[in-house]
Amino acid sequence: MTLTTTRSHTQQVALRAYELWKSYGSRQVVQGVNFILNPGEILGLLGPNGAGKTTIVGMLYGIVIPSRGFVQLGQNQVQAQGSLVRHSMGIVTQEDNLDPDFTVLENLIFFAHHYRIVGKAARKRAGELLAQVGLQDYAKNRIDELSGGMKRRLVLARALINQPQVVFLDEPTTGLDPDARQEFWKLVSQLKENGCGVLLTTHYMDEAQRLCDRIILLQQGKMIDQGTPEELIERTVGTEAVEIEGIGEQILQQLASEYRTWYRPFGNSYLIGLPLDNPQSLWEKLSSTNPLSLTRRRTNLEDVFLHLTGRALN
């Protein structure tokens, strides 16, 4: 299955968030968020629950009004020209919110009416999208006959009914099994290949590391770092780390200080970064302490987040 949006690349423009703030009473939910989402790019927003991800997506899409700042797609401001701009956007929310009274095909045809796509044109577009997400054989099925992965693909197809320039994916694979996630990832990658700008929020670090060209890390509504996955990993935690169990924390403190690296508790064990300039020396010293267990591995985005925020993403 090949996913297309059929807009030419020259028609596509960047989405820009300018100094976004959002407060509810005295509570600041989003504070000074700035970024650009380019055509043909997947940008990830990562942060724990309460970091402001869903609120930011709402402001980008125009259903949440910023307390300060604005969002612009091309020459149009989302807050001032919301109805017009949303015709160039698609959104996959955390909930499927499909109509159980309609068949798979009817769900798409009905949604097409919101964009004044009716009659034969709506049926044609719906059929194209079902083929693109691999659901053409389920057109007459009821929604409750679909698996979780199929429902997610149908919601994505619905988000593409208007051939959007920008697609928002708000935790799109939550609750899916590994195979269904892999299928969804393929569809997201195809959107990028066809020049669509994709903004992704997710709790899955492997998903972000695999799909995203750039990542913005959020904590308590603020941007605390950004860059490519590789940049964030290398400059924050290095390229390798050691999981070690059965060693006193004082020893780790001394070694971390000696090698100018970091360490932190990691479940029932500890995690310590290997320095880029001399990883083997620290590894050998750790091995000589006769720990209960010792594992050397590549660092990842989960390590970055733990190091920067002191907490797991979930």
Q: How many domains does the chain have?
A: 2
Task: Decide which of 198, 215, 232 is a domain's last residue.
Answer: 232
pLDDT band at 223 (very low <50, low <70, confident <90, very high): very high
Domain presence at residue 279: yes
Strand 263-266 with 222-227, pairing: unpaired
Residues 125 and 14 in one domain: yes
Range of the domain at 263: 239-298
The CATH number of whichever domain residue 286 belongs to comes to: 3.30.70.260
Residue 310 covered by a domain? no
Whole-number pLDDT of residue 1? 58
Of 232, 251, 268, the residue that ends a domain is 232
Tell me: the pLDDT tens digits for 152-200? 999 999 999 999 999 999 999 988 888 889 999 999 999 999 999 999 9
Domain-embedded: residue 26: yes
Evaluate whether residue 210 is within a structural domain: yes
Both 145 and 267 in one domain: the answer is no
Average pLDDT over residues 22-34: 95
Asked whether residue 282 carries a pLDDT value surpassing 60, the answer given is: yes
Q: What is the pLDDT of residue 6?
A: 46
282 token code pair: 């620290």
Residue 4 lies in a domain: no
Give residue 8's pLDDT band: very low, low, confident or very high (50, 70, 90).
very low
For the cut 80, the answer to whether the pLDDT of residue 9 exceeds it is no
Which pLDDT band holds residue 14 (cuts at 50, 70, 90)?
confident
- Looking at residue 189, which CATH number applies to its domain? 3.40.50.300
Domain C-terminal end among 183, 212, 232: 232
**What are the tens digits of pLDDT across the range 69-79?**
999 998 899 98
Residue 307 lies in a domain: no
**Within a domain: 146:** yes
Burial degree of 179 (CB within 10 A; 0-12, 13-18, 19+): exposed
pLDDT at 261: 95
Q: Are residues 55 and 35 in the same domain?
A: yes
- Of 222, 309, 225, 228, whose CA–CA distance to 20 is shortest? 222
* pLDDT surpasses 70 at 258: yes
What's the mean per-residue pLDDT of the chain?
A: 91
